Amino acid sequence: MNAKRFVRPAIWFAMFVLVAIVLNSFLSSGDGPEEVDTVRVVDEIQAGNVKSAEITGGDVQRIELTLNNDEELWAYYVEDQGLDLVNQLQQQHEDGTLADGYNVDIPQSNPWMAILGTVLPLLLLVALIIFFLSRVQGGGGRVMQFGKNRAKLASKDAPKTTFADVAGANEAIEELQEIKEFLQEPAKFQAVGAKIPKGVLLYGPPGTGKTLLARAVAGEAGVPFYSISGSDFVEMFVGVGASRVRDLFKEAKENAPAIVFVDEIDAVGRHRGAGMGGGHDEREQTLNQLLVEMDGFDIKTNVILIAATNRPDILDPALLRPGRFDRQVTIGAPDLDGRRRILEVHAKGKPLAPDVDLMAVARRTPGFSGADLANVLNEAALLTARADAKVITPKFMDEAIDRVIAGPQKNSRLMKDEEKRITAYHEGGHALVAAALHHTDPVHKVTILPRGGALGYTMVLPDEDKYSTTRNEILDQLAYMMGGRAAEELVFHDPTTGAANDIDKATTLARRMVTQYGMTERLGAIKFGSDSAEPFLGKEMGHQRDYSEEIAGQVDEEVRKLIENAHQEAYDILVENRDILDSLVIALLERETLNKEEVAEVFESVRKLERRPAWTGSPTRKPSELGPVDIPVKVSTNGSESDHEEGTTVSPDEHQPIAGEHVQPGHQAGPTNQMPGS
């Protein structure tokens, strides 16, 4: 039986008794018989004026009288007077003058009861003080133990997550699988001189499965697994966090081999001394203690630290060096096959209709994280239950994807016919420009139904995952973004505020082309601006301009030139294909939403834009007369050889295709006709 269940009720009962005693002492001194001098009591008895009497003895020697006129009074008496009073009352009772008789109650005195009556209130008061002290700093019944660690030890009886429940992160699973094998069979690695890693850092965008992987390690390891959040170390008192780190590693060492998992380690592992106004003493002392525990003088520990964060850029360099976090594993957005396998994991237990193709769903969700895909299937199940259906159909899956990308549909928002017509031309302009360019992704959907914060949107999605973007693809994206604005100018000669989001994205992308990607002939392949400022000053304040005012003016000119050229290209495409634009708008006004096949049918006779001239880079260079040569290159993939027809350079910061108008999960849907206040 758990004794802790009865501690709190017992404390509250003791408090109630203490309050009752105090109240009784106050109430007993209130209304009642009048207290008089003992002399008057004796006089009243001798005069025969007493109707009834009550005599009590022991600790409190007191006599109460009711006189013949019903007056009540009482007085204290001393021990020697008690016998005389009793004798007089006895005599009057025998003579018949004491009508209602008398009662004598003189109990035997108990010294222990007297002591208890004095000490009990004091004991209750002390218990009450201890109870409140135990709640300070969240002690949970432990007085002054807020320096203890708050890590949770994984229970053997809890439902286990294993590597079989994780999909789309094969490289990370391999790294963690080796950690598991090292803990279970250390002799295998020690035989070749391998040392156990001190730490593994999992980092990547939110929702990609970092914490899920840690739970899988807990289910697979078969050793004590402690989990704690980085924020649990930091308190208002300096030194408490360091004490908790020491206590955590002390407990883990006593149960070694063991694994410690720290989620959101950036809460305690931020760069020391960064930011305005100096550092944070408590956090920095906590970090210092963590560094010592991971790689200090004690090198015989058999404790592995696994940490997760989505902000590796702000972690202290001393935390990331070999010997502390020996392995740093990137958990990125899954590829096409990874998305399919993630969908299969989350589809278990959900009744899918036979015509639901999870591979088709995976193709429609490039850039989705594991959490986004889980949300898609959950939304589809909720929509199915809301419609009182028994199985999840492709219709519900399609709506679930749209809800995750752009938010729920606004069925209650009524649009005027003219405003709906403007929205149709705006979205039709985006779709038509995308279809007439050579390097844009296929149009998957066009709708003028309000959803989320948008009055309508156009969705373009790649047929396969891409990890780098060419200059012509970016230029096509710029033209595609300006397609809605160009359509409004062409048809109505009066642009609306609906293009604000498009202009914002186009300007940002054009500035990156100039300052980061080196894609202008005038300024060349030079990066303008430094991002090496303090990580806590914010993105805008952290960006340092390391170029002159003259170069800044040239940057602005190049950005404007890129936007104007894209705007002109979009306008020319719409003028050339005005009849197709009108046909698309008519179809949109009739059906409100067009899917990929319906859009392709309208665009069968689209006249493409002429290809741009070859990129010359610097004005001093001339494009080569020889075109690109396809040279098959043998590339090893998982131990096998395959032909790789195109070599591309993947930048660590550019794993995702440049957003443009590709609708990405967790972001605003593509081009929107968003009016003020909508």
Residues with a known catalytic role: 427
Pairing of strands 327-330, 199-203: parallel
Instruction: Count CB neighbours of 349 within 10 A.
Output: 6
Q: Is 366 annotated as a binding residue?
A: no
- CA proximity to 587, closest of 463, 441, 474, 431: 431
Cα separation, 336 vs 361, whole angstroms? 10
- Taking the alpha carbons at both ends of the chain, their separation in whole angstroms is 59
The annotation status of 210 as a binding-site residue, yes or no, is yes
User: Was 204 annotated as part of a binding site?
Assistant: yes
Find all residues with CB under 8 Å of 663, minimum gap 6, and list them: 405, 406, 457, 459, 460, 461, 669, 670
Q: Is 207 annotated as a binding residue?
A: yes
Peptide bond connecting 257 to the previous residue in cis, omega within 30 degrees of 0: yes
For residue 269, the 8-state DSSP code is -
What's the rounded Cα separation, in Å, for the pair 79 and 646? 115
In sequence order, what are the beta bridge partners of 642?
A: 635
Adjacent-strand bridge partners of 446 = 458, 594
CA–CA separation, 299 and 242 (whole Å):
19
Residue 74: CB partners within 8 Å, gap ≥ 6? Answer: 33, 34, 35, 36, 41, 62, 63, 64, 65
Residue 206 marked as a ligand binder: yes
678 vs 669: CA distance, rounded Å: 14
Angle between helices 578-591 and 417-436 (to 10 degrees): 130
**Torsion angle of C-alpha atoms 480, 484, 485, 490, degrees rounded to 10:** 110
670 is in an annotated binding site: no
- Axis crossing angle, helix 111-134 with helix 7-28, rounded to the nearest 10: 130
Separation CA 380–CA 146 (nearest Å): 45
Q: How far apart are CA 588 and CA 133, in angstroms?
A: 69
CB 281 within 8 A of CB 272: no
Q: What is the DSSP letter of 627?
A: -
675: left (phi over 0), alpha (psi -120 to 50) or beta: beta
Please tell me the distance from the alpha carbon of residue 149 to that of residue 242, in angstroms, as a whole number.
10
Q: Is 476 flagged in the annotation as binding?
A: no
Helix, coil or strand: residue 604: coil
DSSP for 217-265 reads HHHHH-S-EEEEEGGGT--SSTTHHHHHHHHHHHHHHHT-SEEEEEESG
Q: How far is CA 464 from the centre of its chain?
A: 30
Binding residues: 204-211, 426, 430, 502
Which residues make up each annotated binding site for Zn(2+)?
A: 426, 430, 502
Residue ranges for the known binding site for ATP are 204-211
